Amino acid sequence: MFAVHLLAFYFTKLKEDQIKKVDRFLYHMRLSDDVLLDVMTRFQAEMVKGLERDAHPTAAVKMLPTFVRSIPDGSEKGDFLALDLGGSKFRVLKVKVSEDGKQNVQMESQFYPTPKEITHGNGTELFDYVADCLADFMETKNIKHKKFPLGFTFSFPCIQTKLDEGVLLSWTKYFKVRGVQETDVISSLRHVLRKHKDVDVDVLALVNDTVGTMMTCGYDDQRCEVGVIIGTGTNACYMEEMSNIDLVEGDEGRMCINTEWGAFGDDGSLDDLRTEFDREIDLGSINPGKQLFEKMISGLYLGELVRLILLKMAKKGLLFNGKISTALRTKDKIETKHVAAMEKHKKGLQNTKEILMELGLTPSEEDCIAVQHVCTIVSFRSANLCAAALAAILTRLRENKKLIRLRTTVGIDGTLYKTHPQYPKRLHKVVRRLVPNCDVRFLLSESGSAKGAAMVTAVACRLVSQRKQIDEILASFELSKENLIEVKNKMREELEYGLKKETHATATVKMLPTYVCGTPDGTEKGKFLALDLGGTNFRVLLVKIRSGRRKSVRMYNKIFAIPLEIMQGTGEELFDHIVQCIADFLEYMGIKGARLPLGFTFSFPCRQASIDKGALVEWTKGFKATDCEGEDVVDMLREAIKRRNEFDLDIVAVVNDTVGTMMTCGYEDPNCEIGFIAGTGSNVCYMEEMKNIEIVEGTEGKMCINTEWGGFGDNGCIDSIRTKYDKEVDEGSLNPGKQRYEKMTSGMYLGEIVRQILIDLTKHGLLFRGQISESLRTRGIFETKFLSHIESFSGILRETVKEMAPQCDVTFMLSEDGSGKGAALITAVAKRLHNVEEN
């Protein structure tokens, strides 16, 4: 009895001695909670750095956006292929996701070796090999006849600007393939797949293994928002708020960030924690100076760390009686699986003995106990460091959500975590100690990352098919060169109809003579009033023109709103309102007494018999005041002035805005002979030879013609390029069937066209989750100015004109001062001619 006690005592003592010896020797590898909390704080700072635009380029922890924006929601379905490359094993898989109420995923897979010729060869060989394995898999499974979407788990740091792109930043772990770094692996894969005529796959998504793992686990547990790998390498991803990701536009929702935490410390920030063994591992690796955190943690390095420690201890005579075998001196002779075996509960000591003997050593009992303890310290440090970084991520998630307590799930995978007997429970325990305010569930990804990659691919697949439908819907807006030439020829035809006596009355492009026969010559002078009605704003202006050496134009103006009920009320109300605005302006300028000559820019089709007479043909755009069509607008203005009986004006000219614009620009550039408005409405005027204008007497010189091209197509001649949206916009307008060309081109309608498209896309379930909001139903809610934020039109206009009229050398000159200045110039000329006639 006594002997048994003595033996037990002796044994415990012996164990204690050995443990103390190793503890002393590896003092630097045993990390207290204070140190871990410090590591956690450092990693928090690294995450911030990686996310910030300015700090990102030099940040060690890259925090790469993955373009994965949500965890699976159960609506994913279909058959997918997946590749899983970069972990300890290369796999090709087929994943079938069915949406049948209860979630159901079936997988078939095959492992393929990755020999050193491949992992250390060149890029073409690697991708050819991957494609060959894929083809072989499809052959074996007899699925070559079918087209498959494919998701590619590629477990290396990649820069993504979309889901189906990944530019390799650098190789890590045991891969070092030439000519791949800084290239897009997706296009390389697509490229080699083209050689396999019998393989039809659509490579839709590249995912890191951490992301695949998060998605795999997210399929079973919606709370999963972190993915961790502790395998050959180590890394984590998590869902970050878009507003914190500087590198990606947009602030809404979340995106998964691949932290690439393996590179933590590459800038020296962990140097105080790294031991001589860590430095030695690094120097002997294929990527010295890189992945320093990973090299303290992951499966590729743990065994070697143990070996280096044992070797040193033996050299110091602390183990094996100072004897060293060749195997112990040989790199990588101890692997992570050995470490796991040596730490195994109960059988650990026996395993240790066998492993050491296989290394050509003759260990004593004490040696075995000591070696086992070395393994424990090394793998415990690994779990501790992972726990600290993971705690930093969890804290960030909790703070992002502004929660006091966070309840969350971490999806986790990797051979070290899965096969090391003590690792999971150590990791879990330390994480819970470091972040007591997080309730964490650790969910092992049983089926690997490919299931998750299939989920990501399913989403991408849905987006691709949506994109296709959207493209089909929008194809009706595309105009080929042939279309445009046809439009040009038709327009030419219609312009000629409008000029001819016989056809003028029925022409849809009205070609209205303006009685403006020349552009300004610089001799114009005097003080004039101008009105500018019919565009977005109503303006009243005072224009002072000087001629001669000190030639100049000075303008004073005021903008007035015209309320909708006036635009669409009675003619009398409209003109009374206009006169009211003029009265305000005269008052404001202090010139009420002066009877100034006035030019009236009236931006609607008017039939003119002289420069100061214009009968409104019909309202266009947003105007619909009663009792005006067919009436002379100059008379109506005069009568309204008379009704008010407060001041008098000398109305000299009525001018279309296109004509006013041409004159404004003509004052600066005598070559200007076209006036173009692309505003609320769309129209053009130009100088035509008198001999071509059959409806006006005389054949000498030129006259400006207001084309009123907005009415082009009102006879159906361009129906072939009108879309169903154009028709809807027309039907909902104030003048259905009229101004069809204007309704396809001008500001008053473009926003409305977009709104009609948005409604249609929503009805097809392609936008806004199929929900048409109240405001989207509201006419006019989508203003044209929103479009001009998105697109730039003037460049397109210029380029197309050049293409359609290659023999014309056209300068586009923006009329900065509006058409009011032109109206005043016309008035000045008319006034001078009038005076000449009178004298």
Report the C-alpha gap between 786 and 764 in whole angstroms: 23
Rg of the chain's alpha carbons, rounded to an integer?
40
Residue 352 CB-half CA count within 13 A: 25
Beta carbon of residue 656, minimum distance to ligand GLC (angstroms, whole number): 5
The residue ranges of DSSP E strands in 690-814, in sequence order, are: 702-706
Task: Give the Cβ contact number of residue 804 at 10 Å.
Answer: 13
- Chosen residue from 18, 66, 114, 155 binding ligand BG6 by CB under 6 A: 155
> By C-alpha distance, which of 90, 245, 178, 162 is closest to 170?
178
Minimum CB distance to ligand GLC, residue 637 (Å) = 17
Q: How far is the CB of 84 from ligand BG6 (least distance, A)?
A: 5
Q: Which of 352, 395, 449, 683 binds ligand BG6 (CB under 6 A)?
A: 449
Binder of residue 677, out of ligand BG6, ligand GLC, none (CB less than 5 to 8 A by kind): ligand GLC
Near ligand BG6 in 671-730, by CB under 6 A: none
Residue in this structure with the two tokens 């799930």, named with its chain if needed: 409
**Residue 87 interacts with ligand BG6 (CB under 6 A): yes or no:** yes
Rounded to the nearest whole angstrom, what is the least distance from the CB of residue 694 to ligand GLC in the complex?
A: 22
Selected binder of ligand BG6 within 41, 44, 88, 287 (CB under 6 A): 88
Task: Please state, in angstroms and rounded to a whole number, the distance separating the CA atoms of residues 243 and 88.
Answer: 36
Q: Of ligand GLC, ligand BG6, none, which one sits near residue 208, judging by CB under 5 to 8 A according to partner kind? A: ligand GLC
Residue 132's alpha-carbon distances to 183, 454, 493, 526, 530, in angstroms, are 21, 20, 62, 85, 78
User: For residues 88 and 469, which CB has a smaller minimum distance to ligand BG6 in the complex?
Assistant: 88
Q: Which is nearer to ligand GLC, 48 or 169 (CB)?
A: 169
**Min CB(518)–ligand GLC separation in Å:** 20
Of 107 and 589, the one with the shorter C-beta distance to ligand BG6 is: 107
Whole-angstrom distance, CA of residue 397 vs CA of residue 211: 16
Q: Would residue 88 show up in a list of annotated catalytic residues for this protein?
A: no
DSSP code, position 394: H
Shortest separation between residue 373's beta carbon and ligand GLC, angstroms: 28
Determine the Cα–Cα distance for residues 742 and 84; give it in Å rounded to an integer: 56
Q: Which stretch binds ligand BG6 (CB under 6 A): 10-18, 229-237, 260-268, 713-721?
A: 229-237
User: What does the buried/exposed string (b/e) look like for 226-240 if buried means 16 or more CB atoms within 10 Å of the residue's CB?
Assistant: bbbbbbbbbbbbbbb
Binds ligand BG6 (CB under 6 A): choice among 130, 189, 229, 633: 229
Judged by beta carbon, residue 420 or residue 821, the one nearer ligand BG6 is: 420
Q: Which of 269, 298, 449, 603 is catalytic?
A: 603
The residue among 285 and 620 lying less far from ligand GLC, judged by its C-beta, is 620
- From ligand BG6, ligand GLC, none, interface partner of 620 (C-beta below 5 to 8 A by class): ligand GLC
Which lies closer to ligand BG6 via its Cβ, residue 450 or residue 753?
Answer: 450
* Binding partner of 153, given ligand BG6, ligand GLC, none, CB within 5-8 angstroms per partner class: ligand BG6
Q: For residue 658, give the H/E element and its range.
A: helix 657-668
Rounded-to-integer distance, Cα 649 and Cα 644, Å: 12
Identity of the residue, 188 or 683, whose beta carbon is nearer to ligand GLC in the bound complex: 683
Query: Based on CB atoms, which residue is closest to ligand BG6, 109 or 181?
Result: 109
> What residue 448 binds from ligand GLC, ligand BG6, none (CB within 5 to 8 A, per partner kind)?
ligand BG6
User: Measured from the CB of residue 469, what is the shortest distance to ligand BG6 in angstroms?
Assistant: 33
Is residue 773 flagged as an active site residue?
A: no
Q: Which amino acid is at 168?
A: L
Of 81, 90, 98, give the one whose Cα is nearest residue 200. 81
Q: Which is nearer to ligand BG6, 172 or 706 (CB)?
A: 172
Q: Give me the phi and psi of 229, to 5 degrees please.
A: -120, 125
CB 145 within 8 A of CB 137: no
H helix runs in 343-480, sequence order: 348-358, 365-400, 415-419, 423-434, 450-474
Please tell me the number of Cα atoms within 13 Å of 519 on its side-chain side: 19
Cβ proximity to ligand BG6, 49 vs 420, nearer residue: 420
Site string for ligand BG6, 563-602 (x = CB under 6 A): ----------------------------------------
Q: From the CB of 274, what's the least distance to ligand BG6, in Å?
A: 22
SS3 414: coil
The pairs formed by 343-347 with CB atoms below 8 angstroms and a separation of 24 or more are 343/372, 343/375, 343/376, 343/379, 343/420, 343/421, 343/422, 344/421, 345/421, 345/422
Q: What Cα–Cα distance (Å) separates residue 714 from each residue in 504, 690, 726, 727, 739?
A: 15, 27, 13, 12, 6
| Shortest distance, position 792 Cβ to ligand BG6, whole Å | 44
CB of 803 to ligand BG6, least distance (A): 52
Nearer to ligand GLC, 363 or 710 (CB): 710
545 vs 555: CA distance, rounded Å: 9
Among 18, 160, 188, 232, interactor with ligand BG6 by CB under 6 A: 232
Q: Which one of residues 84, 240, 304, 726 is an interface residue with ligand BG6 (CB under 6 A)?
A: 84
Q: How far is the CB of 766 from ligand BG6 (least distance, A)?
A: 33
C-alpha distances in Å from residue 580, one per residue of 85, 533, 572, 623: 78, 14, 12, 18
Interaction pattern, residues 12-31, with ligand BG6; x per rule: CB under 6 A: --------------------
Q: Cα–Cα distance between 748 and 780 in angstroms, integer?
A: 9
Could you tell me how many helices (H) and strands (E) the chain has, helices first?
A: 28, 24
Of these partners, ligand BG6, ligand GLC, none, which one is at the site of residue 571 (CB under 5 to 8 Å by kind)?
none
DSSP secondary structure code for residue 669 in this structure = -
Contact residues toward ligand GLC (CB under 6 A) are 86-87, 155-157, 172-173, 208-210, 229, 231-235, 260, 262, 294, 534-535, 603-605, 620-621, 656-658, 677, 679-683, 708, 710, 742
Q: Site for ligand BG6 (CB under 6 A): how many residues?
A: 19
Binds 66, which of ligand BG6, ligand GLC, none (CB < 5 to 8 A, cut-off by type)? none
Tell me the C-alpha distance between 78 and 461, whole Å. 9
The residues in 409-428 that bind ligand BG6, with binding defined as CB under 6 A, are 413-415
Residue selected from 46, 76, 184, 209 as contacting ligand BG6 according to rule CB under 6 A:
209
* Beta carbon of residue 109, minimum distance to ligand BG6 (angstroms, whole number): 10
Least Å from the CB of residue 733 to ligand GLC: 13
CA torsion 820-822-826-828 (nearest 10°) is 80
Q: Are 303 and 384 in contact (CB under 8 A)?
A: no
Place of tokens 């009920």: 565
Which one of residues 50, 149, 231, 513 is an interface residue with ligand BG6 (CB under 6 A)? 231
520 binds, among ligand BG6, ligand GLC, none (CB under 5 to 8 A by kind): none
From edge to edge, which strands make up the β-sheet containing 512-513? 512-513, 702-706, 682-689, 674-678
The answer to whether 319 touches 306, Cβ cutoff 8 Å, is no
Q: Which does residue 84 touch among ligand BG6, ligand GLC, none (CB within 5 to 8 A, set by kind)?
A: ligand BG6
Which of 307, 539, 722, 740 does the annotation list as catalytic? 539
Task: Return the residue nearest ligand BG6 (CB atom).
Answer: 231
Cβ-based nearer residue to ligand BG6, 84 or 730: 84
The question of whether 24 is a catalytic residue gets the answer no
Name the site residues for ligand BG6 (rule: CB under 6 A).
84, 86-89, 153, 155, 209, 212, 229, 231-232, 299, 413-415, 448-450
User: Any idea which residues carry the catalytic annotation?
Assistant: 539, 603, 657
